[in-house]
Amino acid sequence: EDQVTQSPEALRLQEGESSSLNCSYTVSGLRGLFWYRQDPGKGPEFLFTLYSAGEEKEKERLKATLTKKESFLHITAPKPEDSATYLCAGAHSGNTPLVFGKGTRLSVIA
């Protein structure tokens, strides 16, 4: 059974305090690993796609990386506006829909 597990469930950071969120997956024949951001009361918003081990993607203070077993979302010098729930999702080959992790709720305190 395909599974995506995220840790920690919640993370509280001071503004400027860098950290990483983890996403481990057991998806056979992974065709991609995807990161989303969700603000309270809103739908998730797509951030990154990673296709192969060693790949990295960056956007502002966020950098996503992928190994053979897990992905990390690194947050460098976060700001309060980075506070959100970050979701990781995976899917195996073909037209199978995404399986989402439960998310990490990030709070950045000024």
Partner 1 sequence: IAGITQAPTSQILAAGRRMTLRCTQDMRHNAMYWYRQDLGLGLRLIHYSNTAGTTGKGEVPDGYSVSRANTDDFPLTLASAVPSQTSVYFCASSAQGDTGELFFGEGSRLTVL
Contact positions vs partner 1 (CB under 8 A)? 31-34, 36, 41-46, 49, 87, 89, 91, 94-103
The three-state secondary structure class of 82 is helix
Task: Return the amino acid letter for 95.
Answer: N
Do the Cβ atoms of 9 and 105 come closer than 8 Å? Answer: yes
Residue whose token pair is 């990030």 = 106
Among residues 1 and 60, whose Cβ is nearest to partner 1?
1
Nearer to partner 1, 53 or 98 (CB): 98
CB of 14 to partner 1, least distance (A): 26
Of residues 8 and 16, the one with the C-beta less far from partner 1: 8
Q: How far is CA 46 from CA 12, 26, 28, 73, in A?
A: 22, 21, 22, 13
- Of the candidates 18, 100, 25, 109, the one whose C-alpha atom is nearest the C-alpha of residue 66 is 25
Indicate the residue among 61 and 105 with the shorter CB distance to partner 1.
Answer: 105
